[in-house]
Chains A and B, each alone.
Chain A
Amino acid sequence: MEKFDGVDYMEIDGLFSEEEILIRDTARKFVQDRLIPIIEKHSREGTFPKDLVPEIAELGFLGANLEGYGCAGLNNVAYGLIMQELERGDSGFRSFVSVQGALCMWPIYAYGNEEQKKKYLPGMAAGKLIGCFGLTEADFGSNPSGMLTNARKDGNSYILNGSKMWITNGGIADLAIVWAKLDGRIRGFIVEKGTPGYSTSDIHGKFSLRASVTSELAFQDCRIPAENLLPNADGLKGPLGCLNQARYGIAWGGIGAAMACYHEALEYAKTRIQFDRPIASFQMVQEKLAWMIREITKGQLLALQVGRLKDQGKAKAHHISMAKMNNVDVGLQCARLGRAILGANGITDEYQCGRHMCNLESVYTYEGTHDIHTLIIGEAITGIAAYK
């Protein structure tokens, strides 16, 4: 495969700091050397490349935008660039990093007390403790506030009952951040692996995110110590705060996947000969490639602007929604167009577009579906929530 040297039609690199470029290049090199050579096999066999976890931890990729507790303390743009590069490799692998950092370390960091932070964050940054995030239930996806999982206080413990579905990292996680209703309010709990009454079962037969573990979590009179309640999250805004962190990373990731597909399709089109000329010389192929680079360029600028806003503390949920929905959609469309340019070759895993395409079908739906994000934008501009 042709070496990936970045996609930068509009000299966007000039908008990044030297440090941000160095960080991106480290992630790019890691993905090129360590992830891309093995990802097809993992995806085909449905296994998660767990061997790479200590390596990415050593590099500092886990919870990279958090400060202290063994975390790297990056700004949000540098963090986003890492997500972009990881998803250029594989959405499933990027999902692992997002779940660990944005959905598990972040809530402990933002909603936890000092003891909880000290107990969990250094181990999680070092990749020794893996987290999963339990919000979605089988019957409550886009409408999480209807969740059935509940907690009740019993002496110095909480007792959890219910189940969570479509949980990335579930089966390999050492701890779960579980959202459950306590006296009718959504609260966050830390549940450690091995707690009696807590069990997981992995979901098989996936077309998508095959190199990532997806599981169901079950809680049956699961008794956890009272100190495992996250004290500073109360109500739906607790989990939504986590989702904002993860969605922000996905906005960059979608562009990474789009870049991988564009790059592959472009190189293929330049060398594939039909009618005695490269197919890149045909107008209909150029139209596809031009559409891809046009949308990638816009998506890069969108992600960057949301990142700069986030660094200034000005990013709103509806900003992040637009970046997530747009950039994942661009990724998915680029994967489909790339697959079309690759012709029959595009249906085998010799090429990446098909894997990205299948992966992005999940990304299109998880972390707020494309449609829900559309309605969040609709609410932001009209003041009317269509989903309530």
Chain B
Amino acid sequence: MNILVFVKQVPDTETRIQIQNGAVDTASVKWVANPYDEFAIEEALRIRERLGAGKVTVLSLGPDRVKEAIKYGLSLGADEGVQVKGEGVALDDPLSVATVLAAAATKAGFDLILAGKQAVDMDHAQTGVMLAELLDVPHVSVVVGLELDPAAKTGSAKREVEGGAETVTFDLPAMITTQKGLNEPRYASLKGIMAVKKKTIAEWTLADLGVDPASVAPAAARLRTLEASPPPPRPAGKLLEGEPAEIAKELVRLLREEAKVI
């Protein structure tokens, strides 16, 4: 089974985001693999271990720094890595990204594609499903359980829905987006980390993938970020003083008249 895992490198959620000239200042950011993608890597490794055969390839689109996210995947046990060079691609636009990734998936060949249900930076939750549509393969999103029958080329995926769960069956090849709860990602072992330098990370350009750069350039993007701004500073809290009965009365009045929540 040939499994592709798409990993996005995102700012660590602990990073204090700085805005400069209406855009996020990436220089001050600590980058990590998108946490939802970690479930995808783990699931791919478990499938390979369960089947006792197969190949797991970690792919990431972006500048050279994304190699760190790929190496993280390799240290966990993925077999190969691919960096798709991101220069000139509208990386904030899900459709542009999905277009490039679809071409990369076609070039790599696959039986299964896994990726996190969304990336924790922009939270679009679009790229995975768009990718599946572009490849014209079935997709199941926000999956918390996955079973495959490689011989029959089918699978079933569990999703959590309001007040219950549903199981969806699909044919392979397919695209699955992963949700917390699917598995417990492993730690990179020392052996895994030491093995990274023996593994290769291929570099693919848009030309290698046969993608017209103009079609995925910022000028062609369907989604454009006009401006980023930090949330307004939280106003100072108000402290009410007096007897409990008076405070309660005043609190109710403020909630009704000022906050207008009751």
Contacts and interface: CB of A to CB of B under 8 A. Distances in A.
A18 B74 CA distance: 13
A25 B72 CA distance: 10
Interface stretch (B56-64, B147-155, B182-190, B241-249): B182-190
- Number of chain A interface residues as a range: 10 to 19
B9 interface: no
29 contacts: A3-B14, A5-B12, A5-B14, A18-B68, A18-B71, A19-B193, A19-B194, A19-B197, A22-B71, A22-B75, A22-B188, A22-B193, A23-B190, A25-B188, A26-B187, A26-B188, A26-B189, A26-B190, A29-B187, A58-B189, A59-B187, A59-B190, A60-B190, A61-B190, A64-B190, A72-B191, A74-B190, A74-B194, A78-B190
A291 interface: no
B188 A73 contact: no
Nearest to A17: B197
A30 interface: yes
B163 to A, nearest CB: 30
B85 to A, nearest CB: 20
Q: Among the interface residues B68, B71, B188, B197, which one has the most CB atoms of the partner chain A within 10 A?
A: B188
Interface in A50-66: 58-61, 64
B196 interface: yes
A5 B190 contact: no
Interface in B59-114: 68, 71-72, 75
A72 B191 CA distance: 6
Given A19-B194, A26-B187, 15 more contacts: A3-B14, A5-B12, A5-B30, A19-B196, A22-B75, A22-B188, A23-B190, A26-B188, A26-B189, A26-B190, A59-B190, A60-B189, A60-B190, A61-B190, A74-B190
The A interface, classified by DSSP as helix, strand, loop or mixed, is helix
Interface of A: 3, 5, 18-19, 22-23, 25-26, 29-30, 58-61, 64, 72-74, 78
B72 A22 contact: yes
Q: Among the interface residues B191, B193, B194, which one has the most CB atoms of the partner chain A within 10 A?
A: B193
Interface in B18-32: 30
B53 to A, nearest CB: 23
Given A29-B187, A59-B187, A23 B30 contact: no
Contacts of A59: 187, 189-190
Q: Among the interface residues B71, B190, B196, which one has the most CB atoms of the partner chain A within 10 A?
A: B190
A111 B2 CA distance: 47
Interface string B197-208: 100000000000
Nearest to A25: B188
Nearest to B72: A22
Contacts of B188: 22, 25-26
Given A30-B187, A59-B187, A23 B193 contact: yes
Contacts of A58: 189
B249 to A, nearest CB: 27
B215 to A, nearest CB: 34
Q: Among the interface residues A19, A26, A29, A61, which one has the most CB atoms of the partner chain B within 10 A?
A: A26
A125 to B, nearest CB: 11
A73 B194 contact: yes
Contacts of B68: 18
Nearest to A19: B193
Contacts of B187: 26, 29-30, 59
Contacts of A5: 12, 14, 30
A115 B105 CA distance: 51
Nearest to A18: B71
A60 B191 contact: yes
B12 A72 contact: no
A282 to B, nearest CB: 21
Nearest to B13: A3
B78 to A, nearest CB: 14
A73 B193 CA distance: 11
Nearest to B191: A60
A352 B132 CA distance: 49
Nearest to A26: B188
The list of the 6 closest CB pairs from A to B, nearest first, reads A60-B190, A72-B190, A26-B188, A22-B193, A59-B189, A26-B187
Contacts of B194: 19, 72-74
